[in-house]
Amino acid sequence: MILLPVPTVLEAAYLVAAPARIPADPTALVEDRWSSLPWPDEPPPVGLRIRETGADDPALAPVLEIVCCGECSPELEPLFPLLSGRSSHLLVTCAAPPGWPPLHLWAGSHAVDAVAAVSGGVRVDVDAARLLPDPWRPPPLAAVGDFGVARWIRVEASGERDGLGLRTLGLARLGVPELRVGEPGGLGPKAGEAAWWTHVLHGLAQVLVTRLFTDVACYPGRGSRAVPAELTVTAADIAAAEARPAGSDPSVREPVGLSLRYEVSRGGAQRFIVGRVF
């Protein structure tokens, strides 16, 4: 078993890049929508902050790193001049306790949509380093079984010396370490396996996030939780993660056994190194 810390607060970051105008009080742009959102129950304490920022903000460093790597995310290349120039941006951050429902993701996405609709600009998911659709209004969080984690994360593939390196982006804001397959300079998946591994990582993320929701609900206030060092991902897990009918994707039919190795970087970032057992 692997013992993981349970954070007290989780935060999601979104960006309205290069808006046409910077309002004097950007938070006022979302007040009406915030109060009228179809919350799952009574509106819980969810912290919202909206502030003006620029390219030198440390909060934008991870997404700038991805944007600079044309091989990693060619679809983000048009963002580089917007994010790295002198333009001002609006950073939207939303915080809430871990567990179900992950309202900091859902409410934050509605907030960035409201800000962008009024001020203009490009919607960016900072944590997952991806462009957001216009508009970006995910459906209400009705039940744990309806939550598909693939909607909220991104799997990035980059070339390594002996294969591909794949990693998730955006999973940490759900309270789960990011996932990585293949280590820099080491033996990783082959290029033709990227799609297969993406599905498997979606399924593994679904399993880990669902376990977190269960653990927090069963043991509120506990500062740590145990995760098995080996887990099995099924086609049903992948279908739940990707919010589609079970069996609709034949690429992963049999259960996949995976090993997890827990690492913490000097900066405190957590990740699981994922290997295949069977």
Q: Residue 218 belongs to what H/E stretch?
A: helix 194-218
Give the percent of the chain with pLDDT over 90.
47
pLDDT surpasses 70 at 42:
no
pLDDT for the residue numbered 210? 96
More confident of the two residues 146 and 77: 146
- Pairing status of strand 10-17 against strand 47-53: unpaired
b/e sequence 62-91, b meaning 16+ C-beta within 10 Å = bbbebbeeeebbeebeebeebbeeeeebbb
pLDDT band at 69 (very low <50, low <70, confident <90, very high): low
What is the band of 15 on the pLDDT scale with cuts at 50, 70, 90? very high
Whether the pLDDT of residue 68 is over 80: the answer is: no
Q: pLDDT of 129-162, one tens digit each?
A: 888 888 887 777 778 888 999 999 999 887 655 5
- Overall average pLDDT of the 248-255 stretch: 78
pLDDT digits (tens, 9 = 90+) for 157-178: 876 555 678 999 999 999 999 9
Q: What is the predicted pLDDT for the residue at 162? A: 59
Q: What is the pLDDT of residues 119-136, one digit of tens each?
A: 888 899 999 988 888 888
Q: Identify the pLDDT of residue 44.
A: 62
Six-digit token pair at 95?
A: 């915080």
Average pLDDT across the chain, whole number: 86
> In the structure, what pLDDT confidence band is assigned to residue 233 with cuts at 50, 70 and 90?
very high
For range 23-43, the mean pLDDT: 76
Residue 184 pLDDT exceeds 60: no
The closest of 129, 118, 127 to 79, measured between CA atoms, is: 129
Lowest mean pLDDT among 27-41, 94-108, 220-234: 27-41
**Cα(121)–Cα(17) distance, integer angstroms:** 5
pLDDT band with cut points at 50, 70 and 90 for residue 45: confident
Taking a C-beta distance cutoff of 8 angstroms, is the pair 158, 152 a contact?
A: no
